[in-house]
Structure 1
């Protein structure tokens, strides 16, 4: 990978923040956008702007072709068997809520179990809490090992014949843990449960093959993989989606509307009520083209080298705690002793270094770690070892400053 050439395609990275060249280490929250994506969205609004599916005029046809073309690109990107299995949503959160509200509430009853882990993002906890409350099902957690991983033995002990849904993140947004989704899916299916995967941190970085994983649902967001905000995807196996009811009702998702009853369109449109996220889908298609051109294997290899380098360099700092397993995705979550992570992030920002601080929408995991918050540096295809060197320098300055203050 020619990282320098890649970085030049991201105009936002060519700026100074607080008098320093920007080092962006917050891609797990949202990635930056390359020119090709920005231009794809711009072209749609400048040349093709129209609603989709409903019009026979030229602009409507062009917009529809681009929108449905984006669906096919997503299908190929994750190796789904049919474009009908690709539902466009606002993001991972909306996608998981759709599954929990439609499939979950229709198929759960008292005595049934929903199994998740303590490392989940709130978006993969709260929908299941609400589904359990609405149906009388029980929410169970697979215990974590001391390094923030799970074992398949623990999965087998937690998933029982009463388990109807297993929901798990592919990659932890805090620990960087890469979960064995294929193996967990096999265990879930052996017990008659469906497997729901939060791919928000997986799709941008890993090779995702839903056919190989055999998961029943896979949710991800565009904005973490170089696409615009506000566009996401729910993949679902066709037979499951066909038996699910939509949870949003209105225009576009209907077949026939009578005074007292209505029928729905076929997949995937029955789940896409109202005017869809047209520009977002077009931007997502451009982002997929961009990532495919670089190659996911190259991106993953680059990020893992950065993570290894970051772990090595951060461990040279006295009084730093690093959370998560040794083998991880491209992020490092940490705390400096006696320095609140918000102070750490503020001090780094003064040096032009953007990191995330807080509970990262994972409060149960923070409780498990016995901290209130952490700082997180996350890497993507446009980051370099020099960025990590800047991070280490910034942390040393931060440590020295707060050491002198206190």
Structure 2
């Protein structure tokens, strides 16, 4: 089941406000989806995700297939009961992870032969196998198996001919994925993935073919794969708004706060990225006024929270009240600096909560701005605030 309702559009851009209804609940768009690779968003309890406004999270088909295995997840009726998350879940197809194995895999028209990075077993992933795995996972949104077209191969930029060959195979795999998804009578939704590298005309060919297949939703893949930022922005400006207006649009693996705002301006409804969680574990914090490195010595005696405007547990404690230079319950930069320096696990747990809260709050502010017809003003203020510095 998937229903997408378009609620508002922005006259100054391609930005739009929507509502996505899935089998496990309603998702307000535009939305950021926290990444839960192994069935968990690292260091964050499901209750905390709900409290910070997460509406839908990701699971990783490839990694969950490896561990714990389909027999375990099937015994719980799918990922929702297994990981105790009762809201929607999107699973990727496993294509990117298989592609990332490099010399350990061989891609053919039939699928991908590879050795398990866990125990070395010989395995095979095809569009049909990916659909079978995702059906067991019972994710609300499944993704077609595609080949991720790299920006470079052996240090050389991927040629138009190479990008075309990859895109055309992904297109054929899309048809096979859809046929198998329907054969399995999967009650959820399947998205097609636009490929084509950094070539706009290939992107358009891929898009046209997928639209003809009539998927319930569409994703833009093959970005954030090593290309310069200006190349990513060029494809982001070309592709999303050309997808059907009555269906959800998902930009895969992107990105920074600036990327999210620009993506929404170009018509994207859904985003995911490991950046807020991975960067948090490495001590990089996103705030309204720019990014900070909590390990830097300048934070050693700083009484301020990470972000004085933030109401997350790390910044405001249980009060949910932003810092006012007076009484407060949150954690200081000095304390979080101390935790990072000592390698205490509470440090990355709190910074992960903050970064995810910031991303989800940013999406909420964009939804509010679109509802109020002031997205252009929001976009300008966002850029001004982020440039101010912490």
Normalising by structure 2, what TM-score?
0.29
Query: Which of the pair has the greater relative contact order for Cα pairs under 8 Å at 6+ separation?
Result: 1
